[in-house]
Amino acid sequence: MNDLRRINPKIVAVVLCVALFVVILNALSTGAYTISFSELIKVILQGPAHSTNTDSVSHAVFWNVRLPRVALAIVVGASLAVAGVVMQGVFRNPLAEPATVGVSGGAAVGAVIAITLGLSKITLGVQLFAFIGGTLATAVVYGLSRVDGKTDVVTLILTGIAINALSGALIGLAVFIADDDQIRTVTFWSLGSLGLATWRAVAMVLPLAIIGIALSTRYARTLDLMALGDRAASHVGVPVERVRLQTIAIVGLLASSAVAATGIIAFVGLIVPHILRLVLGPKHRDLLWAAALLGAIVTLLADLAARTLLSPAELPLGVLTALIGAPFFLWLLRKMRSGESSWT
């Protein structure tokens, strides 16, 4: 793996950009209704307002279904991957991901509350409650993990696990008392999917993703220093506790908005950062932008597989990513126990 680390970041950037472009074209053209490449170019050149009787189906599918779905996949994938990089950097642990601090569980509880209260009929009602739930869960986990004015990393992770377990129990209780329509909505959302992607959902997540990713880049050098350990970082002037609080808030912003838009999509924030650390090394200046690109690619590929493997039926995206991510997590855990995993 050491040879992989010598790959020039510029080469990686070119490869990722080309790969993203190719995957986007495939995602836009492939599905239950296939759009040929010539039709795709024609519809793009016509613009969103144009439609005729001969191309109305392709036009409607592209502008109202495929494009918002692809856009949301890119934004959500980039957000989850960057959040994963920040989480792993601030905790110096390759097993850390946004779910560690209870964001996913809290967002799930918020969404289920909105659904059982009948707020799913209100525009972005479920997404708003999910965002609030994820943010509150992050704040609670962080508050409970502070001891004598300092954050204990192990306590924080264990508290996050406990919050996720409590969230699962609350979701189960909500499903028990919900009616049939609400149960179907809860199930669809909790399994994670881009099937309900709309331009409104994209408009909700995109500004938060831009803010979160931009803020993350400001901490690139600081995260490099924190990899030396809390004491060493403090000696070179890093306010460790303040940085940890601020970066956890950024993770909450990115992950909550992503989960609020698409439901629970697991392991993107775990797999992508680890792959990039093997290729680029530990420098967060390179990892953050690469994570945004690769996170978008992975999410697009997973969604493409989810809607084509059993077409015209559609697999839940969260289930597919979990099927891939869980074995990867076990492999990574085994690698760490055997002492083969190189973190810095």
- Give the pair of three-digit tokens for residue 312: 């015209």
pLDDT of 87-120, one tens digit each?
Answer: 889 888 777 788 777 888 888 888 888 888 887 7
> How far is residue 227 from each of residues 93, 221, 233, 234, measured CA to CA in Å?
9, 10, 8, 12
User: What does the pLDDT read at residue 4?
Assistant: 46
Strand partners of residue 151:
146
Q: Does the global pTM surpass 0.85?
A: yes
Q: Is the pLDDT of residue 287 over 90?
A: yes
User: What does the pLDDT read at residue 123?
Assistant: 67
User: What does the pLDDT read at residue 1?
Assistant: 43
The three-state DSSP-derived secondary structure of 166-182 is HHHHHHHHHHHHCCHHH
pLDDT band at 218 (very low <50, low <70, confident <90, very high): very high
Name the burial class of residue 300, with classes exposed (0-12), middle (13-18) and buried (19+) by CB atoms within 10 angstroms of its CB: buried
Each domain of the chain, given as residue ranges in start order, spans: 4-337
User: What does the pLDDT read at residue 339?
Assistant: 60
CATH architecture label of 4-337: Orthogonal Bundle (1.10)
